[in-house]
Amino acid sequence: MQPLAERMRPSSLDNYIGQQHLVGQGAVLRKMLESGHISSFILWGPPGVGKTTLASIIARQLDVPFFTLSAVTSGVKEVREVIEKARQTRFFNTHNPILFIDEIHRFSKSQQDSLLGAVEQGVVTLIGATTENPSFEVIRPLLSRCQVYTLKPLEEQDLMQLAHYAVEHDAELSKRTFRFTETGALMRFSGGDARKLLNTLELVYESAAPEGDVEITDAIVTDCLQQNPLAYDKDGEMHYDIISAFIKSIRGSDPDAAIYWLARMIEGGEDPAFIARRLVISASEDIGLANPNALLLANAAFDAVMKLGWPEGRIPLAEATIYLAASPKSNSAYKAINEALERVQETGNQPVPLHLRNAPTALMKDLGYGKDYKYPHDYEGHYVAQQYLPDALKGQRFWQPQSNPSEDKLRAWTER
């Protein structure tokens, strides 16, 4: 028999619980479906909130061929084979086939590149699902061709609605009467995840006495999960909240909390590469210029984990975690690039000043390319004042150094 979570997967928006900001009356995805035309998009959200279900509902309602790929098991060859199958199913005046890619953040750059042509040419409509920020994990050309819709953890009222629906409509669970005496533990262990909720209900049902009502209490739920929420959470994908606590503990300079959350992830079966990647991001975003060595150490830890494997890889991860948490913090580089990106979006493609342009040909020299450029090494202190920004942004400041010994030195040098 299929797991309860699969048996309860809704087949239409009418039975779909949660995400009303996307599928409620007048919301963007419902309007798209009602119009009969959808464009490529990526669903971003934690596990168990309905990303895969939503994609299958869309395909079913539009009555189009639906192809799926998992980034964990598919390579470039599989991507090309599926695209070719989709191409053969296309007919005039019909909707494009839908290609659904679960965990698209795990696709390599070459795998994502292999999708571009099919998406651009309309061979397929791409729907991707990811638990990671697409801005960091999806290549820019592909991301620019997709809308990104954010799915939220299910709220308590959504989870209770789903629980009651399951015990009343599932062919197996509906044979018994369920009494929800206490729901605190059920909600806590579910953590906004519909799959966790349904897995827990099934565990309680299977462990209940063969006769009489099935009672839901905090003690019964905790006992079924062996007093450990990780008991049914071993695939490494379910630690959305824990990775958040891990990064925030590093940002908050609490090495004890950071190492605790690291241990929770290790014990829960988290992918070591996922942890190492987050440490590299944290070193850049939160420690930054306050201690540039943090990025070097985090990157070295990443390499060490790849070389050592498991369980020895836990040691460089612990070293990097403690070092980052105990380091001074600065997000000045993070803020500077965000500010610069906003200004680029506002001002567009500003021309490069002529004196900064390269002049490899005589024609370019005649046009003034490179003229009056001052070579800093020819001047005292290897510095000379000249304009480096476009005319429209002359004098603009993006980097605002923060107060720490490392950036104090950088500030003093640039001011001098």
Query: CB–CB of 305/313 below 8 Å?
Result: yes
Distance CA 235, CA 266 (A): 11
**What's the confidence (pLDDT) of residue 149?**
92
**What's the confidence (pLDDT) of residue 240?**
65
Q: Which long-range contacts (CB under 8 A, 24 or more apart) does 233-237 make?
A: 233/196, 233/268, 234/268, 234/269, 235/269, 236/268, 236/269, 236/270, 236/271, 236/274, 237/47, 237/103, 237/131
**What's the confidence (pLDDT) of residue 94?**
65
Query: CB–CB of 139/107 below 8 Å?
Result: no
Local mean pLDDT, 10-residue blocks, the chain (416 residues): 86 87 88 85 87 87 83 76 81 73 82 85 88 82 89 91 92 90 87 87 86 88 66 47 83 87 80 86 88 90 83 87 89 84 80 78 76 82 82 80 79 79
Sign of CA dihedral 12, 17, 21, 22: negative
Name the pairing type of β-strands 125-130 and 66-70.
unpaired
Q: Is the pTM of this model over 0.75?
A: no
Q: Which long-range contacts (CB under 8 A, 24 or more apart) does 8-12 make?
A: 8/162, 8/165, 8/166, 8/169, 8/170, 8/198, 9/53, 9/56, 10/53, 10/57, 11/56, 11/57, 11/60, 12/57, 12/60, 12/61
- Write the Ramachandran bin of 297: left for phi over 0, alpha for psi from -120 to 50, otherwise beta: alpha
C-alpha torsion angle, residues 17, 23, 29, 31 (rounded to 10): 140
**What's the confidence (pLDDT) of residue 90?**
67
Omega before residue 210 within 30° of 0, cis: no
**What's the confidence (pLDDT) of residue 395?**
80
Distance CA 408, CA 290 (A): 9
* CB-based burial label for 15 (10 Å; 0-12, 13-18, 19+): middle
**What's the confidence (pLDDT) of residue 72?**
67
The distance in angstroms from the start CA to the end CA of the chain is: 73
Which residues are annotated as catalytic?
51-52, 102, 131, 195
**Residue 1 has which token pair?**
């028999």
